[in-house]
């Protein structure tokens, strides 16, 4: 298999991984930042306080964007499986 084909497959794989994980990671980061600011302002130093809002944000993001994430992953998988005979012929 030529190196350029392998590099392109790895590049697409990494891009899809970033694309699918970014919404969940950004939502938890924003919620964590908001909870951290609220804890600093109110002097509440309970470490477990941010767990439930982060979990709720993850669930909400997955419910809202789950179909899009699934479509992106299925499209990438179909593209990968469609190209397997061409890769094997190289």
Give residue 1's pLDDT: 57
**pLDDT tier for residue 69 given thresholds of 50, 70 and 90:** very high
Q: Which residue has the tokens 């350029």?
A: 4
Torsion of CA 58, 60, 25, 44, to 10 degrees: -60
Q: Which residue has the tokens 């084909």?
A: 5
Cα–chain center distance at 87:
27
Q: What is the per-residue burial (b if ≥16 Cβ within 10 Å, else e) of 58-78?
A: beebeeeeeeebeeeeeebee
Please state the length of the chain: 90
Could you give the percent of the chain with pLDDT greater than 90? 62
pLDDT at 65 over 70: yes
pLDDT at 90 over 70: no
């Amino acid at each position: 298999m030529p190196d350029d084909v392998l590099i392109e497959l790895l590049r697409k794989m990494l891009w899809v991984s970033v694309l699918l994980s970014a919404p969940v990671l950004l939502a938890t980061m924003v919620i964590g930042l908001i909870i951290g600011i609220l804890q600093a302002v109110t002097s509440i130093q309970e470490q477990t306080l941010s767990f439930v809002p982060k979990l709720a944000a993850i669930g909400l993001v997955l419910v809202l964007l789950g179909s899009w994430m699934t479509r992106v992953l299925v499209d990438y998988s179909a593209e990968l499986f469609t190209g397997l005979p061409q890769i094997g012929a190289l």
